[in-house]
Structure 1
Amino acid sequence: MTPSPTTLPTRPLRNGNAVTELGFGAAQLGNLFRETTDEASQQAVSAALDGGLRYFDTAPHYGLGLSEARLGRALRETPRQDIVLSSKVGRLLVDSPETADRLDDDGFVVPAATRRVWDFSRDGILRSVEESLSRLGTDRLDIAYLHDPDEHWDSASTTGIGTLVELRDQGVVGAIGAGMNQSAMLTEFVRRTDVDVVMVAGRFTLLDPSALDDLLPLAAERGVGVVAAAVYNSGLLSTEKVDRAAHFDYGTAPAAVIDRAVRIAEVCARHGVSLPAAAIQYPLRHSAVVSVVTGMRTADHARSTVARYRAEIPEALWEELAATGLAPDPRITADS
């Protein structure tokens, strides 16, 4: 993809495709934690496009297919070659009429007319990709990730990756990889399999840069792109002033983590930078990172996220965070 004057800067994957440095995470289009509307979803995607975003990430898991369907409709008028679409495999959606009168119990406010079944078999992945393409209204995925294969290494690293390689060879998917909330297994995917890109959620942030110890160095060595997600760590880094009641990694934040977030926010304030802006730009300092993906529910949210990405951040901020031991500078780590 060649950036246009209205497109945010891009970084290349090793297969030649490129993603914008800021990506649209579409979990909230699947009614994550609360309901949203088709109209609000359309407006959020439109605002993201207006802001220069061209990378959109979704999954069947998000709202039992609702996120994919809404995203597909919202992008219908956008030339397909102008955007990069990623979705995920591993959670197959199976009809569940016996639970259709209930709401989903996995964080999404949608009827439980289908249920998720872990499936990293060849048939399961082929079916999952086919159904995702149908919901999205497209003929290909630019990136396909194995979704949270934490308890399924044996099947995910064999038939899972093998099937994605087959689909990549056929041109049905572009780049392939895995997306997880941990860095250790992602590192093993990079070490042992033919992945092009991985998505690491919550493990490469201002509060938890642990992926610097294993995943990032190997990804840089192998030429594997890294997409950083959940850079706000579930909310603790999402506001200028730290909310002590905010979540950290989907749960109650430990006092020591809150105190560190407050100290980071104070450093940001001294340099005239908002904490959320620093949270978004921090992972992009590493050469292996190709994009930061954040969730966006509304047009205002999309516009504010672009503003955070574009905010000017002085080098002195990163130097102080590193010197005080609050957050290592990924640029120095990558260059060393």
Structure 2
Amino acid sequence: MALTLSRLGFGAAPIAGLYTAVDPDTAAATVDAAWDAGVRYFDTAPHYGLGVSERRLGVALAGRDRDAYAVSTKAGRLLVPSGGGGLDDEGGFAVPATHRRVWDLSRDGIRRSLDESLVRLGLDRVDLLYLHDPEDRLDEALATALPALAELRDEGVVAAVGAGSKDGAALTRLVREGGLDVVMVAGRYTLLEQPALTGLFPACAAAGTSVVAAGVFNSGLLASPEPDPGSTYDYGAVPPAVLARARELAAVCAEHGAVLPQAALQFPLRHPLVRSAVVGMRSPAEVERNAALLGDPVDPELWAALEGRGLIPAGAASAAPAP
């Protein structure tokens, strides 16, 4: 993949009010802080806040050298105006429910989604277009959506195409049959668990498909030095066995002068297929914290210790990061 992605990517769902509201000024300041920290890859989607994420990201990036950064957005669900009131409870965003999401994996639907995203972003192009969460519609995705993405790439409308999901098996099939440049795998290649190593990563290696790691904190569990039973794991409650494993990881990190989120952010980037770790951030303080965690390398002996205790796979301690 010729497209250059910064090692730390900016996940723009939180600035659209994921779970709790974020005001526009804070959203803009958060993107500014990411830029100042060297982030040059920004990921968004129509789904995030019913278009709010794309609009806020576009405003914050306006005026910057367009060739200096990469933007990805997603397709598969169109935003259709609705007469409903209240907040977007269905999507989990603290924004007015002005629209509803409608699946459309047709060629016209994919193109319409991109056109509408470009209007919201205020850009003339995005660099990478993902199919968003297609795991329950794989046959249709392969029949119509992925050919539509490939057509956009072949026309030069986008530089690269991919798919994003937390379903490793679905992504594996799409890589094998769909000709993807990139997959965004959420939560399935983290310090806590690595099911993507079986199936998905070998398929990516064979196809020449790059990987973007998302959900590297497993939706919150690995984001603090001391895993808390009140944290979330895969957007739900933390099973006791998973909490115990996270606490064991934290203890080994502490023995080697590191903190759990520091190792959790650095671990996925050690794999040669992983080009970027996309982290959702909602404030300048979160940006500064994550940039500092990534910029402070852990003791290399930590990886060997984790491997020795069976907490990461054999060979992971000696993995060679992507150039």
Structure 2 length normalisation: TM-score? 0.96
Which residue does 2:129 correspond to in 1?
144
Distance 1:274 1:142 in 2: 34
Which residue does 1:71 correspond to in 2?
57
Distance 1:331 1:61 in 2: 37
Indicate conservation of the 8 Å contact 1:92/1:124, yes or no: yes
Q: Any idea what the Cα deviations from partners look like across 1:120-154, whole Å, max 9, x if unmatched? A: 11111111000000011111110000000011111
Which residue does 1:291 correspond to in 2?
276
Indicate conservation of the 8 Å contact 2:182/2:210, yes or no: yes
Alpha-carbon offset, residue 30 of structure 1: 1.2
5 Å-filtered alignment, 1:112-123, equals 112-123=97-108
5 Å-filtered alignment, 1:163-242, equals 163-242=148-227
What count of residue pairs does the alignment treat as equivalent?
A: 319
Which residue does 1:104 correspond to in 2?
88
Aligned partner of residue 206 in structure 1, secondary structure: coil
Distance 2:317 2:156 in 1: 34
Alpha-carbon offset, residue 220 of structure 1: 2.0
5 Å-filtered alignment, 1:1-336, equals 14=1, 16-97=2-83, 99=84, 101-105=85-89, 106-328=91-313, 329-330=315-316, 332=318
Gaps of 5+ in 1: 1-13
Indicate conservation of the 8 Å contact 1:217/1:334, yes or no: no
Aligned partner of residue 263 in structure 1, secondary structure: helix
Alpha-carbon distance change, 251 to 314 in structure 1, aligned in 2, over 3 angstroms: same
Aligned partner of residue 87 in structure 2, secondary structure: coil
Distance 1:83 1:137 in 2: 15
Aligned partner of residue 147 in structure 2, secondary structure: helix
Indicate conservation of the 8 Å contact 2:303/2:317, yes or no: no
Structure 1 length normalisation: TM-score? 0.93
Q: Any idea what the Cα deviations from partners look like across 1:165-208, whole Å, max 9, x if unmatched? A: 11111221111010001111111111111110000000001112
Alpha-carbon offset, residue 334 of structure 1: 7.5
Aligned partner of residue 282 in structure 2, secondary structure: coil
Alpha-carbon offset, residue 221 of structure 1: 2.6
Q: Any idea what the Cα deviations from partners look like across 1:294-330, whole Å, max 9, x if unmatched? A: 0010111111110011112122101111110112253
Amino acid at match of 2:88: D
Distance 1:210 1:306 in 2: 26
Alpha-carbon offset, residue 331 of structure 1: 5.7
- Provide the aligned C-alpha RMSD in A: 1.3
Amino acid at match of 1:139: D
Distance 1:302 1:322 in 2: 29
Distance 1:300 1:251 in 2: 25
Alpha-carbon offset, residue 104 of structure 1: 1.0
Amino acid at match of 1:192: E
Aligned partner of residue 238 in structure 1, secondary structure: coil
Indicate conservation of the 8 Å contact 2:73/2:130, yes or no: yes
Alpha-carbon offset, residue 242 of structure 1: 1.3
Alpha-carbon distance change, 314 to 333 in structure 1, aligned in 2, over 3 angstroms: closer
Aligned partner of residue 268 in structure 1, secondary structure: helix
Alpha-carbon offset, residue 292 of structure 1: 0.3
| Shift >4 Å, 4+ stretches | 331-335
Q: Any idea what the Cα deviations from partners look like across 1:224-243, whole Å, max 9, x if unmatched? A: 11000001011110001111
Distance 2:22 2:134 in 1: 28
Distance 1:182 1:153 in 2: 11
Q: Any idea what the Cα deviations from partners look like across 1:58-94, whole Å, max 9, x if unmatched? A: 0000000000000000000211100100000011101
